[in-house]
């Protein structure tokens, strides 16, 4: 398993950060993760536990397609996606801080490496960790630029 985690303080409320990430996911995900080339949901209506999506990504020149399902959705607290092919987990956690902001923690787990990719595991770990850091920085930049700060 390859696991990466990154956290960032965002100067917006957990509700605002959650809305940007979870409620507006279909619209905003390709913006904070430009590797996403296609994103579609098979489930109609607002996202909820059980919603199924399909994405096509190009990471470092490698194209992957995956089906994923929302497995946890707790307003202003947590959003989790899981996929079985390839096998991964993506988790966003939203924790309020003392300054009316949010500590966002992003976790990515690649649960299984193909046999032919195992010799490159160290490079993959580094790329995944770099991607996690880039994800939270992109989210911080977009959310703080577009979401109104909490009223004082």
Query: What residues make up the domain containing 103?
Result: 2-31+70-146
Confirm whether 9 is domain-assigned. Answer: yes
pTM above 0.85, yes or no: yes
Note the pLDDT of residue 115: 60
pLDDT band for position 104 (50/70/90)?
very high
State how many domains the chain has: 1
Angstrom distance (rounded) from CA 96 to CA 106: 15
Eight-state DSSP code of residue 100: S
Burial of 136 (0-12, 13-18, 19+ CB in 10 A): buried
Rg (CA), the chain: 15
CATH number for the domain including 23?
Answer: 3.30.530.20
Instruction: Confirm whether 113 is domain-assigned.
Output: yes
Say what the pLDDT of residue 143 is.
97
What average pLDDT does the segment 133-142 reach?
A: 96
Evaluate whether residue 17 is within a structural domain: yes
Q: What is the pLDDT of residue 150?
A: 67
- Give the separation between CA 134 and CA 83, rounded to whole angstroms: 21
- Range 97-108 average pLDDT: 93
> What does the pLDDT look like over 20-29, one tens digit per residue?
999 999 999 9
3-state secondary structure string across 104-139? EEEEEEECCCCHHHHHHHHHHHHHHHHHHHHHHHHH
Q: State the pLDDT at residue 67.
A: 94
């Amino acid at each position: 398993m390859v696991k990466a985690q990154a956290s960032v303080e965002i100067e917006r409320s957990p509700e605002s950060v959650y809305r940007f990430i979870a409620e507006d996911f279909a619209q905003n995900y390709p913006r904070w993760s430009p590797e996403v080339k296609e994103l579609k949901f098979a489930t109609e209506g607002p996202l909820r536990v059980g919603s199924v999506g399909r994405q096509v990504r190009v990471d470092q020149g490698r194209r992957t397609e995956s089906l994923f399902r929302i497995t946890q959705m707790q307003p202003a607290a947590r959003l989790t996606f899981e996929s079985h092919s390839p096998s991964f987990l993506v988790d966003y956690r939203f924790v309020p801080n003392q300054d009316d902001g949010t500590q966002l923690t992003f976790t990515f787990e690649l649960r299984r490496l193909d046999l032919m990719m195992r010799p490159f595991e160290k490079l993959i770990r580094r790329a995944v960790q770099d991607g996690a850091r880039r994800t939270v920085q992109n989210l911080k930049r977009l959310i703080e630029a577009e979401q109104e700060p909490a009223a004082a």
